[in-house]
Structure 1
Amino acid sequence: MILTAAIILFSFLEIVNSQALWYQPEQVHLSFGDNVSEVVVTWSTINDTKESIVEYGIGGMILRAKGTSTLFVDGGPNQHSQYIHRVTLPNLTPFSRYVYHCGSNFGWSPEFWFRSLSSDEDWSPQLAIYGDMGNENAQSLARLQEETQRGLYDAILHVGDFAYDMDTDNGAVGDAFMRQIESIASYVPYMTCPGNHEERYNFSNYRERFSMPGGSESIMYSFDIGPLHIISISTEVYYFMYYGIKSLVFQYEWLEEDLIKANLPENREKRPWIVVIGHRPMYCSTTDRDDCTHYETITRVGIPFLHVFGLEKLLYDYGVDVEIWAHEHAYERLWPIYDYQVYNGSYEEPYTNPGAPVHFTTGSAGCKEGRDDFNITRPPWSAYQSRDYGYTRLKAYNKTHLYFEQISDDKQGAVIDSFWIIKDSHGPYKYSEINWGKMDGLRLKSFV
């Protein structure tokens, strides 16, 4: 009798505990809101908690912000569902350490912290940048966790390809990945762009799980941080056109408008560095016979045969300084390049006042597909190559100096490559064919 009662009680407690877990926040991560002075906290619960709350504060003061949740149903046969919660924390005091937790009266997350940033341009942000990180063989993750929690970074840029793949096993792999990066993404804004591995169900796992500026209906956005204007685009609209060409055309037009605004004298004066991130590179010298190994990469020249909506000329014409890619599971730095021609600033100082954008690929964070090999013969436009697992750091010192370094996880965090980009002035390059009429029209419109 006593044994039976004990079994019943144990079973009841198991049910209560399992029910509680359905409401427990997980997969907590941050992103920027309308500007870097706003932080959006995102998390998931299996069941609907009816409310989405973040309690946060500095110096013992406790504030409470409420948001909303949406039901996300994975496209797989099991129709796995979860509620994704989003709460915006506005008007944060710059450069302050906020402690927070998120949840509801049904359950709360552990406490995390983040350092708020300033919307002003006169400070020096430091970013970690990488692409192609999976659940398996996430080689760089432990080092990134340690550095992030030490406060080394102001934000992360993950340049496409997550989990390998988030839709796998009815979204269970995506859930595991989001829990895995919580030790990074709950401490700094985790800014992203889609890669080819996010394609299933029209990128729904990517769109719904992350909270980028512009919302889930937009797969491109831009934001300002210090002297940087960072633009995130989807290269995938060029490769999955069975979802419709409309997305490609809309992104191209949006991108040109964003570049026009960024080049207005008052904007380029405040934030002279324009940086574009997208998943698939225009140039690479690996052996995998992927798109960037072809002379006419689609993102570079545009739709085959028609050669419309190509990105290389657009980014060159509007004076983009740096183009950051992933997709290739390696690190490769290029000399300043346009249309396969090298435009170094000088022989001695190639990245001082370069005559074209600087490209590099950083897709070696670690995934189950391993590393890519390089061609035996290095092309004349390729400055540095490495197959080491690792990631990139960027520090924007000021309006004239950017510093990059590549970290090798294989070599216990050693810096294996570093370079400065130095510019006395910013704007369209010497041979650009920018339509200044569009610039003037937008300038007039902006003053109306």
Structure 2
Amino acid sequence: MVGAMVRLGLLASLLFPAWADTPYQQPEQIHIGLGQKPGEMTVHWSTIQESYLRNQTAYDPGDSFVMYGLSKDALTRTSNGTSFLFQDYGDEHRNFTMHIATMTDLLPNKIYYYVVGGQRTGWSAALSFKSAPISAEDVQSRLPMSYAVYGDQGDYNGQTLPSLQIAARKGELDMVLHVGDMAYDFDSDNGRNGDAWMRDIQPLSAAVPYMVSSGNHEAGNNFNHYTQRFRNMPSNSGTITFPEFGKVPNNWWYSWDSGLVHFVALSTEVYTNADYYSMVVQQYDWLETDLAAVDRTKTPWVVAHGHRPLYCSCDNDCDTIATLNRMGFKQPDGSFKYGLEELFYRHGVDMYIAGHEHNYERMFDVSPKWNSMMPWLSGVTTESTIDPPATTYIVTGSAGNVEDHEAFTRPAPRRSAKRLNTYGWSKMTVYNASHIYWQQFQTDSGQPPSTWGQVVDATWLVQNHHGPFSYHPRRKEVENSGVAGLRPVDTISVDMSFWPVGRRLQMQCKHAGHNQAPVCSDQDHSKQMASKGRWQYTKSIDSGNPVDFV
């Protein structure tokens, strides 16, 4: 491997002699994503040099190489990627370089080793990942496949991170699905908060495909950080135009296949701003086409995800915005248009996963039925996990951040199977075309240590009749015996004695404004949380420590 690096460096020095005077910039914030084609894996990283961060006028493209192979000592293949200048809009106007490269022609289900960087910027440590299956036979030999699922994880108080890093280290995860709200926020402290979080997740994101959708905490400066930091998502929905960057791949909504699942990433944020109305229409039209094209013999399961819930029961977040995402916009004739729920039902989406609420709520199947008096109690359910005749809805937004827990202030509706108010992350394990096992792991330092890592909710989701729910053999049960209303459901409470501290931190970060220098910093958050005895050691695994599969 060293010899190959030296040869590459010599070639670079001959082609670009001016590079010799460029200061060293270590590749960092490395994260991988599934490629647009089978047998591909993309990698995204940053190189930051403090002396070039402010008001940079000359763009220095830097090195964008990835070397990879089936052995640490035989990185026999090299791919030359692309780079671009990232610009933060804070008052310091920090600029640094981001890089993207694609590893191609990967053999299925193999451990690959890789390094990123180049002679000028330096090289990363050797990292590794397991390549995705390609053929149906590859998928069957890989099963069961497991996916970590969560939303709303910050750099501060990200209480799930150690558990997730350990799961990745053990080779227990095939992919991560982060359903919005990251870092809290990317643009805080002139983007340094985003840098810190990306470094912290690297032991996870450099080893397991880290797939994302955007949330409200990514909205600063028109989702600038989110759009640029995750350009390596397998966009299949065109481009988005930015004045500074031109057209960039659309990672606001896109889809991909993994094993037996067709995943769909959606932007629920476009429903919250009138300026994005045209994008609501574009996303809806794209989603309708995408869902209609799914081959259920290849990917029988269809799982959609976005940041905001279509159904939830904790507070008034479950009213207007949830209704907009669920039903769309009211038209002059009184009908509703561009709602997601109707498409989910018509095309048989098995599961919709969201975050936004800083708690956990697993629901049963929910069929569309409008409740004009109490919109949050809309929908009817057969309370099924075996052959449900409608989409199953799950909220998993309890990964931990400076805003702490979000209490359930309303009674549980019939559709709620389990509500928890503790930090944790979800794991979805796909066993075959008909069985998924869903678990919730608790990682709450405010709970007894004996419960850390404990499974606090688990269920099988069984579906033998994939496809449009209007053809489901149990569809008549919804009309005849589907229930709505309230039900008693156990909800775990948490020690909220330190809530005012987190709340103050939340307000500080929020009211600093996306175009102003935030007042929060890493040191302030960690010290204040630690002083209250509730600080989880989220950096217990060194972010620079590579994950190595054994």
| TM-score category, normalised to shorter length | 0.7 to 0.9
Counterpart Cα distance in 1 of 2:466 and 2:440? 25
Could you give the per-residue CA deviations for residues 263-282 of structure 1, whole angstroms, max 9, x where no partner exists? xxxx1111110100000001
Query: In structure 2, what residue type is equivalent to 1:275?
Result: V
Secondary structure class of the residue paired with 2:198: helix
Corresponding position of 2:205: 185
Q: Is 1:412 the counterpart of 2:452 in the alignment?
A: yes
Q: CA deviation at 1:94?
A: 1.0
| Matched residue count | 403
- What are the ranges of 5 or more consecutive residues in structure 2 without an aligned counterpart? 1-20, 50-59, 240-247, 369-377, 445-450, 473-550
Q: Is 1:245 the counterpart of 2:277 in the alignment?
A: yes
Q: Map of 1:212-231 to 2, 5 A cutoff?
A: 212-214=233-235, 216-218=248-250, 219-231=252-264
Query: In structure 2, what residue type is equivalent to 1:298?
Result: L
Q: CA deviation at 1:308?
A: 1.5
Give the TM-score taking structure 2 as reference length: 0.71
- What are the ranges of 5 or more consecutive residues in structure 1 without an aligned counterpart? 1-17, 433-448
Corresponding position of 2:514: none
Corresponding position of 2:104: 90
Query: In structure 1, what residue type is equivalent to 2:39?
Result: S
Corresponding position of 1:152: 172
Counterpart Cα distance in 2 of 1:130 and 1:377? 24
Corresponding position of 2:358: 329
Q: CA deviation at 1:111?
A: 1.3
Percent of aligned positions that are identical: 40
Q: Is the 8 A contact 2:311 2:322 kept in 1?
A: no
Corresponding position of 2:391: 357
Residue from 299, 303, 307 that aligns with 1:271: 299
In structure 2, relative to structure 1, the CA distance for the partners of 1:36 and 1:363 (3 Å cut) is: farther
Q: Is 1:308 the counterpart of 2:337 in the alignment?
A: yes
Corresponding position of 2:425: 391
Could you give the per-residue CA deviations for residues 231-285 of structure 1, whole angstroms, max 9, x where no partner exists? 001000101232x3221111110000001101xxxx1111110100000001111
Query: In structure 1, what residue type is equivalent to 2:184?
Result: Y
Q: Is 1:56 the counterpart of 2:73 in the alignment?
A: no
Counterpart Cα distance in 1 of 2:38 and 2:206? 15
Residue from 297, 313, 323 that aligns with 1:297: 323
Corresponding position of 1:445: none
Corresponding position of 1:380: 414
Q: Map of 1:166-205 to 2, 5 A cutoff?
A: 166-205=186-225
Q: Is the 8 A contact 1:36 1:224 kept in 2?
A: no
Corresponding position of 2:135: 120
Query: In structure 1, what residue type is equivalent to 2:343?
Result: L
Q: Is the 8 A contact 1:335 1:342 kept in 2?
A: no
Could you give the per-residue CA deviations for residues 44-103 of structure 1, whole angstroms, max 9, x where no partner exists? 012535331111111343211110101110122222111110010011111111111110
Residue from 281, 284, 290 that aligns with 2:312: 284
Corresponding position of 2:293: 261
Secondary structure class of the residue paired with 2:329: coil
Residue from 90, 109, 113 that aligns with 2:124: 109
Secondary structure class of the residue paired with 1:308: strand
Q: Is the 8 A contact 1:119 1:224 kept in 2?
A: no
Give the TM-score taking structure 1 as reference length: 0.86
RMSD of Structure 2 on Structure 1 (CA): 1.9
Secondary structure class of the residue paired with 2:291: helix
Q: CA deviation at 1:431?
A: 7.0
Counterpart Cα distance in 1 of 2:410 and 2:204? 37
Counterpart Cα distance in 2 of 1:295 and 1:86? 35
Secondary structure class of the residue paired with 2:190: coil
Q: Is the 8 A contact 1:97 1:113 kept in 2?
A: yes
Could you give the per-residue CA deviations for residues 357-384 of structure 1, whole angstroms, max 9, x where no partner exists? 0000000000000011113521111111
Secondary structure class of the residue paired with 2:162: helix
Query: In structure 2, what residue type is equivalent to 1:321?
Result: D
Corresponding position of 1:9: none
Could you give the per-residue CA deviations for residues 404-428 of structure 1, whole angstroms, max 9, x where no partner exists? 1111112211111111111222111
Secondary structure class of the residue paired with 1:269: coil
Moved more, 332-341 or 413-422: 332-341
Secondary structure class of the residue paired with 1:258: helix
